[in-house]
Chain A
């Protein structure tokens, strides 16, 4: 049961691994804002290409890892693209499928929408894979002045997710051996969750109690503040990433507000 989760931190030496968490968080928020604001396919294609290039070159994720982490999403996005392309109205017919016209405007909007979802999820995956949850928590305390107890609660929650996921897999395997079949229907899935709930709850409570004792036994929460050894700091690369992201977001929304985007948008309404 040692399959590692693709949405889980893995240590490495890539450029993104070496960036401080808050710069990466700013990049993630910036990319999401750009993706939300970009309703034009070719701009969304550029954003997606930049994010994919970031994943491959700056975060050093392999193509296989990216596919493994997002294949379900790819299918969902492709379905979304097909449905929207066939359903949305337009004026310029691109081609016909079984005599139904498919419009250029519909394809353009559907492609932008599908890529928007994919871009946001992939950029989240880059962030999660290259950011140690502990570093993020510490950055929130040392740079954002968040109380350390809250930051650690956030960190522990992220830290424990893969453990719970692994435990669910074990419970599923243990119950499959009993002859419990995987359920396909929603009602079946709810019943399945009920069966998992008790062992999961018992295990999680035991684990939580152990963690509390381990933390309190080492003076966690004894003082209002604490020392941080090796706290991440925003260095020159982080400042560059932050500045470029901020400038891109500001430029894009300014261009939108001033109508420049519509001026170059080939499918813009007259």
Chain B
């Protein structure tokens, strides 16, 4: 990828090029310049030579260019306007051309601010005080406007819907180059190249609204690639995507880095599929860089960092599962895990497990399965539903839920998960007789009757807040149901203690951190003691540690009240760890209903539903195939696999 010097474009009165066409589908770009602007026009660069220069620079052979410094931060401290404490503290970072840097850390540690600094959004759009020196692609950030970084830095955000401006793919990809006053033929060539790069060559005429989440995010990447930036900066680009969409995006990034030498700096929590693609890991804590090195070195030792609420949390929460497995295996076999031995992908982990046999004195720890009392809770019979008659979203769904369970609802984006969940809580009107809730027809129950039985925690906690104070927020549901003052006070105190928000009871809900707001939204449901609690994407916008805390809270709920948790999620690690049942929706139909271990063993089903098995399951499955004599069975947790290796190691040595 190359950049075109923006000074080539006129700075006083730029020419306006307009291609014309009679219809959108038969676009025939013709370079036209309005007569009004013609006198100011600067002769355009020769396009053929421009493309040649681009291709030469974008070739996989980088040579000495690899040592070119793209990012050079020295002692950077940044404080947002109106804030007392800096969000970045004395950050120094140098990134060379062709590096693929993964930035990790808990929410609120300054990762996003660091990324925004790389294209000047910090300090020029997100205002504040910048100390130290930040030079990106040879330009001093403090003295360079954001627009002047357009050909140097491409920025991709978490939510493709928030960053896509246009309604058609081609318009979106051309947008940046149009702003840079490039020639129409050049723009169209770059547009084509960018769409080819992200694997969407025939999507130019498609409407943005027709695309899946993964495709939209690839369009976002193409939209910044079209300007051929030297540096690609991505802030959790797969957070809203299903596993299939995530795999699409990661594959594109790996190809850009490998084949075109694009420098990438990226914040991402889904490290399992990314660890073997990055060349460097930066770990941040409380605004400072606490580790900077190779992925193997990063994932070879457990560290602790601080959450947004200043609690100490293990940094291993952001480690790939195979690295966790290696650390557990090293501990069980009492060996030292050298950075070179840390696996970054499933194949590495299989090799490591095959090479390391646990010592015979190691003790396998097994946890007996817990028997729980279960009662029928909800029954769905042959439920079909659509927002209009022509497009059914759910087709003849049959599902029964019992108390005391954690059930994962999985499937591609658009498979009908959220629609089904919203039917359960009465947001969508259920057909008569289709849903039996505690012995009553749900379609005949009022909103408050349903809400007393079923709670729903939305993806964005802010949507659910209706008062100005934390304790009033929790009390609200009880007040509208006419509970006595004493009972309200008792329940609010109890729930505040459970979600650990007692100290903030008089604060505004909107002043809390994201993790606290999430806990508060759970508390507002919890206080009504619902039999069924629906969690909509508990991991979106949350780091892994936060999701773990939330699920820990859910597990406590189940223990205490026998509540059933129905979580809509794409996070297969979360499913493997917490769910005792998985339901997969595929094109509105139930494609699977059973134990997670059975789901992850069905490769065809996983593929058709756009899911991936958790890495530990894949490692254990491959070990079982490779060494059938060891009798290892597919498992879902690192501890189970280490136990199996210990047990089989002992058997082998006897």
Residues of A within 8 A of B (CB): 1-3, 9, 11, 13, 18, 132-135, 142, 145, 156, 159, 163, 170-171, 173-181, 195, 198-199, 202-203, 206-207, 209-233, 235
Report the minimal beta-carbon distance from B70 to chain A, rounded to whole angstroms. Answer: 16
Return chain B residues, CB-CB under 8 Å to A218: 150, 175-176, 179, 223-224, 227
Closest Cβ neighbor of A18 among chain B residues: B23
Partner of A225, one of B16, B23, B126, B466: B16
Report the minimal beta-carbon distance from B586 to chain A, rounded to whole angstroms. Answer: 18
Interface string of B432-460 (1 = CB under 8 A from A): 00000000000000011001000110101
Closest Cβ neighbor of B508 among chain A residues: A198
Return chain A residues, CB-CB under 8 Å to B14: 223-226
Return chain B residues, CB-CB under 8 Å to A230: 19, 21, 24, 27, 29, 170-171
Task: Report if A179-B181 is in contact (Cβ < 8 Å); known contacts: A170-B463, A198-B510, A215-B165.
Answer: no
Is the Cβ of B11 less than 8 Å from the Cβ of A223? yes
Report the minimal beta-carbon distance from A80 to chain B, rounded to whole angstroms. Answer: 29
Give the 6 A-B residue pairs with the shortest CB-CB distance, closest first.
A218-B176, A219-B150, A222-B147, A174-B463, A214-B163, A223-B14
Task: Report if A210-B466 is in contact (Cβ < 8 Å); known contacts: A170-B458, A178-B477, A215-B165.
Answer: no
Return chain A residues, CB-CB under 8 Å to B539: none
Closest Cβ neighbor of A133 among chain B residues: B167
Report the minimal beta-carbon distance from B204 to chain A, rounded to whole angstroms. Answer: 10
Closest Cβ neighbor of A168 among chain B residues: B463
B25 contacts partner chain A, Cβ-Cβ < 8 Å: yes
Is the Cβ of B181 less than 8 Å from the Cβ of A226? yes
Is the Cβ of A210 less than 8 Å from the Cβ of B167? no
Is the Cβ of B171 less than 8 Å from the Cβ of A199? no
B180 contacts partner chain A, Cβ-Cβ < 8 Å: yes
Return chain A residues, CB-CB under 8 Å to B162: 206-207, 210-211, 214
A215→B11 CA distance, assembly (Å) = 19
A60→B455 CA distance, assembly (Å) = 43
Interface-located stretch among B152-160, B307-315, B369-377:
B152-160
Using C-beta atoms within 8 Å of the partner chain, give the interface range for chain B.
Answer: 35 or more
Is the Cβ of B18 less than 8 Å from the Cβ of A227? yes
Task: Report if A221-B177 is in contact (Cβ < 8 Å); known contacts: A207-B162, A226-B14.
Answer: no
Closest Cβ neighbor of A206 among chain B residues: B162
Report the minimal beta-carbon distance from A201 to chain B, rounded to whole angstroms. Answer: 10
Report the minimal beta-carbon distance from B42 to chain A, rounded to whole angstroms. Answer: 12
Is the Cβ of B20 less than 8 Å from the Cβ of A233? yes
Is the Cβ of A203 less than 8 Å from the Cβ of B462? yes
Closest Cβ neighbor of B14 among chain A residues: A223
A105→B187 CA distance, assembly (Å) = 62
Is the Cβ of B180 less than 8 Å from the Cβ of A228? no
Closest Cβ neighbor of A162 among chain B residues: B209
Closest Cβ neighbor of B32 among chain A residues: A231
Is the Cβ of A220 less than 8 Å from the Cβ of B462? no
Pick 12 A–B contacts, CB within 8 A, sort by A.
Answer: A134-B166, A177-B447, A178-B524, A199-B463, A210-B157, A210-B162, A218-B175, A220-B147, A223-B10, A229-B27, A229-B184, A231-B19
Task: Report if A219-B29 is in contact (Cβ < 8 Å); known contacts: A202-B462, A230-B170.
Answer: no
A145→B170 CA distance, assembly (Å) = 24
B380 contacts partner chain A, Cβ-Cβ < 8 Å: no
Interface string of B476-505 (1 = CB under 8 A from A): 110011000000000000000000000000
Is the Cβ of A199 less than 8 Å from the Cβ of B121? no
Q: Pick from A145, A222, A230 the residue with the most CB of B within 10 Å.
A: A230
B15 contacts partner chain A, Cβ-Cβ < 8 Å: yes
Return chain B residues, CB-CB under 8 Å to A178: 451, 464, 466, 476-477, 524
B228 contacts partner chain A, Cβ-Cβ < 8 Å: no
Return chain B residues, CB-CB under 8 Å to A159: 165, 167
Closest Cβ neighbor of B448 among chain A residues: A179
Is the Cβ of B126 less than 8 Å from the Cβ of A209? yes
Is the Cβ of A202 less than 8 Å from the Cβ of B18? no
Is the Cβ of B126 less than 8 Å from the Cβ of A177? no
B178 contacts partner chain A, Cβ-Cβ < 8 Å: yes
Is the Cβ of B13 less than 8 Å from the Cβ of A224? yes
B281 contacts partner chain A, Cβ-Cβ < 8 Å: no
Is the Cβ of A219 less than 8 Å from the Cβ of B179? yes
Report the minimal beta-carbon distance from B483 to chain A, rounded to whole angstroms. Answer: 11
A224→B36 CA distance, assembly (Å) = 14
B558 contacts partner chain A, Cβ-Cβ < 8 Å: no
A65→B8 CA distance, assembly (Å) = 50
Is the Cβ of A217 less than 8 Å from the Cβ of B13? no
A175→B36 CA distance, assembly (Å) = 54
A62→B353 CA distance, assembly (Å) = 63
B578 contacts partner chain A, Cβ-Cβ < 8 Å: no
Is the Cβ of B119 less than 8 Å from the Cβ of A217? yes
Is the Cβ of B21 less than 8 Å from the Cβ of A233? yes
A231→B34 CA distance, assembly (Å) = 12
Is the Cβ of B179 less than 8 Å from the Cβ of A223? yes
A28→B37 CA distance, assembly (Å) = 31
B207 contacts partner chain A, Cβ-Cβ < 8 Å: yes
A229→B146 CA distance, assembly (Å) = 23
Report the minimal beta-carbon distance from B485 to chain A, rounded to whole angstroms. Answer: 17
Report the minimal beta-carbon distance from A95 to chain B, rounded to whole angstroms. Answer: 40
Return chain B residues, CB-CB under 8 Å to A228: 16-19, 178
Return chain B residues, CB-CB under 8 Å to A227: 15-18, 177-178, 180-184, 187
Is the Cβ of B147 less than 8 Å from the Cβ of A216? yes
Is the Cβ of B427 less than 8 Å from the Cβ of A180? no
Partner of A132, one of B15, B159, B167: B167
Is the Cβ of A217 less than 8 Å from the Cβ of B11? no
Task: Report if A211-B159 is in contact (Cβ < 8 Å); known contacts: A216-B121, A230-B21.
Answer: no
Report the minimal beta-carbon distance from B211 to chain A, rounded to whole angstroms. Answer: 13
Is the Cβ of A176 less than 8 Å from the Cβ of B447? yes
